Structure 1
Amino acid sequence: MFLGDDLLPLLVLAFGGALFVGSLLAVIKPPERQLDDTHLDKAPVGRSLAFAFVGLVAAIWAIASLVSG
């Protein structure tokens, strides 16, 4: 198989980890200056935490799939 047999779990790990870290950083450290008036001052906390949770679950699931075989 192209790029190995563990391609799907590795991709899920990468995207889940990026979703987790990116969503948490959007809540913890919003941008210092806004580009224009159409952008929000800060990220919506509830939605960002929900996305972070989904990313964490995906990353944990991918790690478990990689470790189990």
Structure 2
Amino acid sequence: MLADETLFLGKDLLPWLLLAIGGALLVANLAAYLRPPLVDPRRPDGARRERPPLGRVVPLSLVGAFVSAWAIASLVR
């Protein structure tokens, strides 16, 4: 069967998924720190929530960058 012979994105499915997860982890943490979400999204000029602590943002961003770099290296090889 054709469905049994081919995989979505071939053998590179796991590196692509890791790239997506690592990139999302990196970008989401940096975005939450640089521009925290609004308390009430219906009021664009309203107050913003507190920034997340750097003790959480930095390690999670580094993990996201590491996972993304590893995935890119796996895809390039």
Normalised to the residue count of structure 1, the TM-score between the two structures is 0.82
Q: Distance in 1 between matches of 2:76 and 2:19?
A: 12
Structure 1 runs, 4 residues or longer, greater than 3 Å off: none
Of all paired residues, the percent bearing the same amino acid is: 45
Q: Distance in 1 between matches of 2:40 and 2:29?
A: 18
For residue 30 of structure 1, give the secondary structure of its aligned residue in structure 2.
coil
Unaligned ranges ≥5, structure 1: none
Alignment of 1:7-22 (within 5 A): 7-22=13-28
- The structure having more radius of gyration, on CA atoms, is 2
Unaligned ranges ≥5, structure 2: 1-5, 42-48
Normalised to the residue count of structure 2, the TM-score between the two structures is 0.74
- Is the counterpart of residue 2 in structure 1 residue 37 in structure 2? no
Larger RCO of the pair (alpha carbons < 8 Å, separation 6+): 1
The aligned length equals: 64
